[in-house]
Amino acid sequence: MGGTLAIDAALLHPDRVSGLVLIGAAVSGMTDEDTPFDWEADDASAPLMARADDRDLTADDRIRGLAHLWLDGPVAREGRVAGDARDLFVEMNRTILAVDAPGSAGDAGTDAWTRLNELRLPVVCTWGELDLPCDISFYEETARRIGQEGGQVLPAVAHLPGLEQPALVADLVRDAARR
């Protein structure tokens, strides 16, 4: 959601945004209809997505699925990220589940997917090596549409490197700010 909001803001208010650092960013209006690939949940991600969305499960069970999916990475060992980072993830997601916001929360109605080429600011497009395999093609396509063939893969992290390796993300932001 963070990347979506940042990209939408950059398109809607370009005078207020001087650069973007995208990490595994979704893009509003994202679809596989105009790409050379079809999105399909992979074998590692699909059961974790189902678990996270299953309202018949307890919040703790859903959060365990969410943590494995987003924090550890679906192809990594569950519990790979531990300690304070995991505790914070659990606390944040307990709040998110309790609020029960609609899936459309934060939607600005911007179809950024077809407008990525309109971005006229520095953009760093990255994703974690252990992120959802089914989403990697979208991250690569986002980088391509922005003009960054290949993008930048962050080694040994999943979708939330800011939690598991904050220094890595701080370096990305500092490097982007120097450009």
70-125 pLDDT per residue, tens: 999 999 999 999 999 999 999 999 999 999 776 665 667 788 999 999 999 999 99
Residue 173, in any domain of the structure: no
DSSP code, position 3: H
Q: Read off the pTM.
A: 0.90
Buried residues in 90-121 as b, exposed as e (16+ CB within 10 A) = beebeeebeeeeeeeeeeeebebbebbeebee
**Containing domain of residue 68, as a range?**
45-99
Residue 12, in any domain of the structure: no
Residue 154, in any domain of the structure: no
Residue 178, in any domain of the structure: no
Residue 111, in any domain of the structure: no
Q: What is the domain count for the chain?
A: 1
Residue 145, in any domain of the structure: no
Residue 150, in any domain of the structure: no
Residue 65, in any domain of the structure: yes
